[in-house]
Amino acid sequence: MKKLINAVDHVITEQLEGMALAHPELKISLDPKYIARADAPLTDKVAVISGGGSGHEPMHGGFVGVGMLAAACPGEVFTSPTPDQMYAAAHAVAGTAGVLFVVKNYTGDVLNFETAAEMVHDDGIKVQNVLVDDDVAVKDSLYTAGRRGVGTTVILEKVVGAAAEAGYDLDQCAELARRVNSYGRSLGMALTSCTVPAVGKPTFTLGADEIEIGIGIHGEPGQYRTTMKTADEITTTLVNAILDDGEYRRMLREWDRGNAMWIEREVIDTPLVAGDEVIALVNSMGGTPQSELYAVYRKLAALCQSRGIRILRSLVGAYITSLEMQGVSITLVKTDSEILSMWDAPVKTPALRWGF
Amino acid sequence: MMITRQHIVTWLERCAVLLEEKRAYLSELDSPIGDADHGINMARGFSKVVEKLPSVADTDIGNILKTSGMVLLSSVGGASGPLYGTFFMRAGGALQAKQELDSSDLLRLLEAGIQGVVQRGRAEVGEKTMLDALVPAFDALKARVEQEDDLITALQAALAGAEHGVELTIPLVAKKGRASYLGERSIGHPDPGAASVTLLLSALLDVVKSSSRAE
């Protein structure tokens, strides 16, 4: 294993210490670990808080700042953060408008954030959880933990962070977040594996001429393996899977503040159709250079045009990564005037910055 | 015999020792169907519990279990943290102010803990989770207690029930957690969470056995 680390046990702490030095506009706590806006607590705006395992940088810590996240909680590499982190972060940033937890759909994240929401609620802070489950590699929700949360998370955190900044209340932020999630679809692929520092060997192995379609961001098994293809062929596979994805139904949990209990609601995502307008994300899994991402974007744009899908905004770069994995994921989020105006609103974070 | 406050403290210490011994074994079980960290996470969590025990050992069993649950919640991570954390917190909640436990209290401990795991994880028996060991252990314990068998016999039956439950997870298709993404490929492997349940039960049996010998 060749990595720029000092000691395996210090990877996350040293990363946070460096981040604090590079970004004085952030307030970083090491015990428990969270990254917050230095101007927090927010007085009368909803605090959007996210978190998850480390190793996906810049997500989520790189998205903390004005117009996006109020705080982020990093776990160990590829391991969910624990409720004490979310609890402390919520207390550090929450004002009177409450806290929205943005949670990617992985069992560990879901259970830890639900526990945190109950703790925060018990302290009298208004709280709601919203899930991101957009990975079309997972077909059914009946026999699995459901679709995983991937690229749509980036777009959702930007859009809902802007809404919170604009003064939306907690329920309005949650409703907008659910709509963005329902509108978003992603699919990724791996050219190579990645190595978790504490493990010291690759998470999975791919042959020299082998690629995996539908890989998860923690190396969860994908849909299938095949031989190496051209950028156009791979892009076509990913984009067709997203555009041809049918209706997706599942039960999602939300927090009933009045009765202090979790309730389930059926959520149905409808397919993208000709005439839809989208925000497109072409994302590096960490090890794939920008040049290759643009080659993918080139084909994505052509395919969308031929299918009557209009790309109104694009984001091309490394935003939700899997350590040094080579590969790409594509995310398309259907947009409307409200989502688009929130996307265009100013944002000032280490990883996304415009309008200032 | 009764399970005393000291037995509970010794049990939690014994859990930490046993989980450290079986750390690699549990992580290996977690390797084909999970992310190979169950042993590491459980050993870390219970070592933190042991660090915390001196500050609560003089209170009551409910408080000791509840505090242990809170420590597990903040130190295990992954899905096991909230599940084991909730198990111990609910078990502690059901045994408030208790200084010792009879066999019906032990049933309440397990029952409250299991209810917490079911609520938190929304799982049921047969989905290849820790419930596949916890529920048969509870059923076996309950049957023995109703027959008025002694505590050691009842705990032996509970452990056997849990161990049999782990074996029954081998041919199951996982429906919860990361393993569920493997679908049919999860067949042929026991569930690591169910396996760690058997370790905690065998630690309890060890403590009760050695204490009854001392008597």
- Torsions phi, psi for A250 (to 5 deg): -165, 165
* Mean pLDDT score across all residues of chain A: 96
Contact predicate A184/A136, CB 8 Å = no
- Residue B204, min C-alpha distance to chain A (Å): 27
How confident is the model over A273-299, as pLDDT tens digits?
A: 999 999 999 999 999 999 999 999 999
Give the Cα separation of A293 and A320 in Å (integer): 14
The 8-class DSSP code of residue A24 comes to T
The yes-or-no answer on residue A91 being catalytic is no
Contacts of B175 in chain A (CB under 8 A): 143-144
> What would the mean pLDDT of A188-205 be, rounded to a whole number?
92
Interface confidence, given as ipTM, is 0.88
Q: Could you give the C-alpha distances from A239 to A59, A137, A139, A336, in angstroms and in order?
A: 23, 12, 16, 21
CB-CB contact of A259 with A307 (8 Å)? no
Q: pLDDT (tens digit, 9 = 90+) per residue, B116-173?
A: 999 999 999 999 999 999 999 999 999 999 999 999 999 999 999 999 999 999 999 9
Centre a 10 Å sphere on the Cβ of residue A302 and count the other Cβ atoms it contains: 14
| B53–chain A nearest CA distance, Å | 19
The type of residue at B26 is L
- CATH assignment of the domain containing B110: 1.25.40.340
- Does the active-site annotation cover A60? no
How many CB pairs lie under 8 A apart between chains A and B? 78
Q: Domain ranges in chain A? A: 11-184+248-270, 186-243+273-334
Total tally of structural domains belonging to chain B = 1
Distance of CA B99 to the CA centre of its chain: 21
Chain B CB contacts of A138 under 8 Å are 181
Tell which CATH classification among 1.20.1250.20, 1.10.645.10, 3.40.50.1370, 3.30.1180.20 matches the domain A186-243+273-334: 3.30.1180.20
- Spatial separation of the C-alpha atoms in residues B165 and B168, rounded to whole Å: 5
Which CATH homologous superfamily contains domain A11-184+248-270? Answer: Dihydroxyacetone kinase; domain 1 (3.40.50.10440)
Instruction: Give yes or no for residue B204 having a pLDDT over 80.
Output: yes
Nearest to B83 among A32, A111, A216 (CB): A111
Domain containing B127 equals 3-214
Residues of B in contact with A75 (CB under 8 A): 77
- The type of residue at A178 is R
* Cα(A297)–Cα(A340) distance, integer angstroms: 20
Q: What are phi and psi of A348, to 5 degrees?
A: -140, 90
- B residues 34-93 closer than 8 Å to A (CB): 35-37, 40-41, 73-79, 81-83, 85-86
Give pLDDT tens digits for B79-100.
Answer: 999 999 999 999 999 999 999 9
B152 touches chain A (CB under 8 A): no
Residue pLDDT, tens place only, A133-172: 999 999 877 778 999 999 999 999 999 999 999 999 999 9
